[in-house]
């Protein structure tokens, strides 16, 4: 009987720990979506490729229909402003943050503003 009680307590402890870990992980991540100046598949590859290697970034996807970027990130590492700054440093506008002009001018011609007009 004592063994059964001990086993039950251990199982409850493991389940409680797992539940609290899941809650803590959910609270330490945030997902944002914002418009970018991306225009083509190469833009998508550039942004997603660079962002996926950034510490604290968990998910990145550029919607090619409306050019909105969705980013899930760790809140202990980044905030919304730092995410937008990363995109701007790649040469693309990110919501209200303007693109880094030097980086924008170094993008392939198809990725530069007005190339697809």
How does pLDDT run across 38-96, given as a tens digit for each residue?
999 999 999 999 999 999 999 999 999 999 999 999 999 999 999 999 999 999 999 99
Output the DSSP codes for the chain: -HHHHHHHHHHHHHHHHHHHHHHHHHHTEEEEEEEB---SHHHHHHHHHHHTTSTTEEEEEE-TTT-EEEEEEETTT--HHHHHHHHHHTT--BTTBPPPHHHHHTS-GGGSTTTT-
| Residue 32: per-residue pLDDT | 97
At the topology level of CATH, where does 29-111 sit? Alpha-Beta Plaits (3.30.70)
Q: Is the pLDDT of residue 12 over 80?
A: no
The whole-model pTM stands at 0.75
């Amino acid at each position: 009987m004592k063994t059964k009680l001990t086993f039950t307590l251990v199982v409850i402890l493991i389940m409680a720990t797992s539940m609290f870990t899941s809650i803590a992980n959910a609270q330490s991540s945030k997902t944002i979506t914002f418009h970018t100046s991306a225009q083509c598949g190469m833009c998508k590859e550039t942004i997603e490729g660079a962002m996926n290697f950034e510490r604290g970034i968990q998910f990145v996807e550029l919607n090619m229909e409306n050019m909105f970027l969705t980013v899930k990130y760790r809140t202990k590492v980044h905030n919304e402003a730092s995410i937008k700054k990363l995109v701007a440093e790649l040469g693309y506008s990110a919501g209200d943050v303007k693109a880094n002009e030097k980086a924008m001018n170094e993008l392939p011609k198809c990725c530069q503003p007005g190339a697809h007009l």
